Amino acid sequence: MHAVGIVAAAGSGLRLGADVPKALVPLAGRPLVRWAVDTLRAGGVTEVVVAVPAADRAAFAAVLPDDVVLVDGGATRTASVRAALSAASAAADVVLVHDAARPLTPPEVVGRVLAALEAGARAVVPVLPVVDTTVAVGPDGMITGALPREQIRRVQTPQGFSRATLVQAYGRLPTHAELTDDAAVVHSAGVKVGTVAGDERAAKVTVAHDLVLAELQARA
């Protein structure tokens, strides 16, 4: 199975507030984007395309292996993945889309996603259970009801798709549509999305506190 990996790394990282794009921020001496690329390769992906901020292409090229393809990202994650997808080899059977912001994702998660695709899934995402009580609140901040926690999962990346499924779903998506992940893109095209076990270590680095935790984890 020929698997291509897409890394969404074109965000600026406003909430992290570093002076470089988030994907270039070092974690234990390695930029987040490099961690993400290395994890995909260690997990069995053979070709990698990275969506980067257009203005920072040289800085990304300097920290990534030569055979990684770089493309200019867009204004939204959806636009960035769309750009990377059109640069991915048409020979690929499956595509894994990963966030640069999830640097410590163990390669085993990549392996589980690939195995599900190998077994015939068209779309599959790593998920984790919710441990806290979950509620809905109204605009006034008052609780309007409880949500059934056992039906809820937290969704991570890498998310895996048969290439044809993902290309078709992006093809149907309006140009300026903005969805938070790729499972939502294929779901909007009527595709059933399966799940495999995620991993707490695949947590997203969003704010400064997440980077502190990731540093501790990287050194453990």
Binding site for ligand CTP (CB under 6 A): 8-15, 22-23, 51, 73-77, 80, 99-101, 204, 206
CB of 10 to Mg ion, least distance (A): 10
> What span, in angstroms and rounded, lies between the C-alpha atoms of 114 and 44?
8
- Judged by beta carbon, residue 10 or residue 183, the one nearer ligand CTP is 10
Among ligand CTP, Mg ion, none, the one that 98 touches (CB under a kind-dependent 5 to 8 A) is none
CB of 11 to Mg ion, least distance (A): 5
- Judged by beta carbon, residue 11 or residue 21, the one nearer Mg ion is 11
- Judged by beta carbon, residue 16 or residue 190, the one nearer ligand CTP is 16
> What span, in angstroms and rounded, lies between the C-alpha atoms of 210 and 202?
11
- Judged by beta carbon, residue 151 or residue 175, the one nearer ligand CTP is 175
- Residue 165 CA neighbour count, 13 Å, CB half: 26
* Token pair belonging to 150: 């056992």
CB of 74 to ligand CTP, least distance (A): 6
**65 and 42 in contact (C-beta within 8 Å)?**
no
Q: With b meaning 16 or more CB within 10 Å and e meaning fewer, what string describes 170-198?
A: beebeeeeebebbbbbbbeeebebbbbeb
Amino acid at 218: A
Binding site for Mg ion (CB under 5 A): 11
